[in-house]
Structure 1
Amino acid sequence: MNWNQLQYVLTIVQEKNITKAAQKLYLSQPSLSMSLKNLEEELGVEIFERKKGVLELTYAGELFCHWAEDSLRSKQILSDQLSDISSNARHKIRLGISPHRSLILLPDVLTDFYKTADNCDLQIVEEPTYLLREMLEDDQLDLIIDVPHPDTINYQSELVAREQILLAAPKAMDKQLQKNLTLDGSLRLTADLKAPFILLTEKQIIGQISQRIFETSNFRPLTSITCSNIDTALTLVARGLGICFAPEVFVWQERFADHISYYPINNYRDTRQICLVYRKNHYLNQHLLLLLDIFRRKIPSLYQH
């Protein structure tokens, strides 16, 4: 048994198919099948069984996978610790962040980071929250910048900022929306607000928050477009096709500055927590610690504008 075989089995579990797993591992399908057969013979048990054409773990396979995950994690921790001891150590950090946040945060953060960490490779994964969380749980990411993880036992969610959700509207609608503004400048969602809403799906956090805002305001929106990307929604708002909800971080994006106005929402002042989220039981190498420290400094200053 070797480390590769452990990763092979976990990849088969992830892909649920030997052919797809072989492609992901850059192996031929016969080579992967032979490696699995040899491992099962060595262990004296079957790891997989085929049910209705689908590979499923046996009970022995489940036990093996739990052990394999722990073993590979321990191996990575040891590797990171030994690398830190070496003066010419080279690390790799896998960072997950939403596309709109990466555009605003990463240029300044990485400029500072690479002033010191010239021997570190960085893999940036830009996906929505639900995918970033899945990848963190599957050990495909070391760190995500996002809302807190609900599992507080296994994951550290380090709060660095609180983010308001605002209503984004085309500047051409400023005069029309004046009648909906309160004395404190927030916008009331009332029946006479006839502008069509551009909404995100409920898979997205903003989509879920949008529904809560409507419920809090007892407001039924006129919906014309539903999409899965906040950048798409705001681009459509900038073209005058409707209004949408957006994180306040977009206020500082220059590309929308001439076309979109942002309004606080009356009767909804809840904020969204922005956190550095990582596993509690993982070793944090020196470069990851440096990156975390830069995020701790940079993110709060962004929200103090």
Structure 2
Amino acid sequence: MNIQELNYIMCIAKHRNLTRAAQELYVSQPTLSKCLQKLERDLDGKLFSRSGNCYTPTYLGKRYMEYARKMLEVNQDWEKELLDIQACKKGELNIALPLMRSSCIVPDVLPVFHEKYPDVKVNFLEETYAIQERLLLDDQLDFAVFNEAHPHPNLVYEVLANEEVLLMLSPHHPLAKQGIEREGCRYPWIDLKLLEKEPFILHFPDQTTGRIALELFEAYGIQPPVPFHTRNSQACAILAYQGLGACLIPENYVKSMKFDPLPTCFSVGDGGVFSTLTIAYRRGAYLPSYARDFIKIAQEKQMGI
């Protein structure tokens, strides 16, 4: 096994198509095909079964890729550590984070990081959901940013911030002036029972805000109508602003959007409802010094240090 072969086979498995794999690898299709044929001769077995243009891993192929993934991860760790040892401030970071969270975090963190590490390339990979699962499966990711999830033993978690989840209404909504001052709340507080017949625009239950909404409804004993579900936080906020319903949304998402006039936001629950924003990476994975600095800068910016 050599690194080039490993990358070739993993890329074919990723696309299940020789042409698309060759395009990503910047090699010709005949070159990639010859490499695969030679490797299969050396192994005396097929790594993929072919059906038209579709390449599906065989049992041998799946076992090969399990070891290939481990070897590529070790090689990746070594390359990062070598850069550190050589005191080079060059490298690359691959970071997964929620689609809208990118617009909240990147403008604050990236300028500071780039000033310190101008030769480190940063790839922000925006996802809509299941980011923790992506981090566990994709060894090319250095770390991921997401709201609290069920902890996984193979990941290490660091807190970026505890963020309030707000109830948002159009400024013209009949209940927009029903908030009251309440000790411990930074926003006017509203009793969710007042909204038991109001439509809600919600995230899906497998998303943090969607789960929080259902927990609040249960705690207050209400079942408001939910005519719209979406995974897009920006869509939730815009629809609520247009008066199509109420929505629950993280505070920083509201701050990152431009509204005129501003929407009406409330604290809800017992002294406000909060979610924990975390940054996670694979346990045992090597993080170069610039990756550790990125985490530190993100923590300082998100916590307002």
Q: TM-score, normalised by structure 2?
A: 0.86
Q: Does 1:256 align with 2:255?
A: no
Q: Offset at 1:68? A: 0.7
Partner in structure 2 of residue 211 of structure 1 = 214
Within 5 A, what are the aligned runs for 1:53-72?
55-72=55-72
Q: Secondary structure at the match of 2:193?
A: coil
Residue 8 of structure 1 is matched in structure 2 by 8
- Would you say how many aligned residue pairs link Structure 1 and Structure 2? 301
Shift of 1:277: 0.7
Q: Whole-Å Cα distance in 1 between the matches of residues 257 and 23 of structure 2?
A: 42
Matches within 5 A, 1:113-124: 113-124=113-124
The residue type equivalent to 1:176 in the other structure is L
Q: What is the aligned partner in structure 2 of residue 287 from structure 1?
A: 290
AA at the equivalent of 1:262: C
2:74 aligns with: 74
Deviation at 1:183, TM superposition (A): 5.7
Say which is worse superposed, 195-204 or 179-188, in terms of deviation.
Answer: 179-188
> Where does 1:164-179 land on structure 2 (aligned, <5 Å)?
164-173=164-173, 175-178=174-177
Change (3 A) 1:164 1:226: same
Cα separation, 1, equivalents of 2:195 and 2:273: 24
Deviation at 1:186, TM superposition (A): 2.8
**What is the CA distance between 1:244 and its match in structure 2?**
0.6
CA contact (8 A) 1:136 1:143 kept: no
Partner of 1:283, secondary structure, is: coil
Equivalent position of 2:230 in the other structure: 227
Match for residue 108 of structure 1? 108
CA distance in 2, matches of 1:192, 1:293: 40
Q: Give distance in 2, aligned partners of 1:291 and 1:226.
A: 34
Shift of 1:46: 2.2
How far is the alpha carbon of 1:84 from its aligned partner?
1.4
Distance in 1 of aligned mates of 2:62 and 2:195: 57
1:172: how far off?
1.2
- 1:251–1:90 Cα change, 3 Å: same
**Larger helix proportion of the pair:** 1
Contact 1:149 1:155 in 2 (8 A): no
Instruction: Name stretches of at least 5 consecutive residues in structure 2 with no aligned partner.
Output: none
Separation of aligned partners in 2, 1:69 and 1:249? 37
Deviation for aligned residue 1:287 = 1.0
Amino acid at match of 2:94: R
Once the two structures are overlaid, the 10-residue window that deviates more, 70-79 or 126-135, is 126-135
Return closer, same or farther for 1:31/1:187 CA change in 2, 3 Å cut-off. Answer: same
Seen in structure 2, the aligned counterparts of structure 1 residues 44 and 26 have a Cα distance that, compared at 3 Å, is same
Amino acid at match of 1:103: S
Q: What is the CA RMSD across the aligned residues, in angstroms?
A: 2.8
In 2, are the aligned partners of 1:96 and 1:132 still within 8 Å (CA)? no
Cross-structure match for 2:18: 18
Query: Cα deviation per residue 1:55-104 (whole Å; 9 max; x = unaligned)?
Result: 44333322211111111111111111111122444101112222332222
Amino acid at match of 1:15: H
Note the 1:238-249 alignment, pairs <5 A.
Answer: 238-249=241-252
- Give the letter aligned to residue 259 of structure 2: F
Query: CA separation in 1, counterparts of 2:155 and 2:135?
Result: 13
CA distances 1:96-125 after superposition (whole Å, capped 9, x unpaired): 222332222222222221221122111112
TM-score, length-normalised on structure 1?
Answer: 0.86
CA distance in 1, matches of 2:64, 2:250: 43
Report the secondary structure of 1:176's partner residue: coil
Conservation of the 8 A alpha-carbon contact between 2:98 and 2:129: yes
Q: Is the Cα–Cα contact under 8 Å of residues 148 and 157 in structure 1 kept in the other structure? A: no
* Cα distance, 1:227–1:153 mapped onto 2, change above 3 Å: closer
Q: Is this contact kept in 2: 1:136–1:144, CA < 8 A? A: no
| Partner residue in 1 for 2:239 | 236
* Counterpart pick for 1:266 among 243, 266, 269: 269
Structure 1 pair 180/105, CA: closer, same or farther in 2 (3 Å)? closer
Paired with 1:24 and 1:203, the residues of 2 have a C-alpha distance of: 32
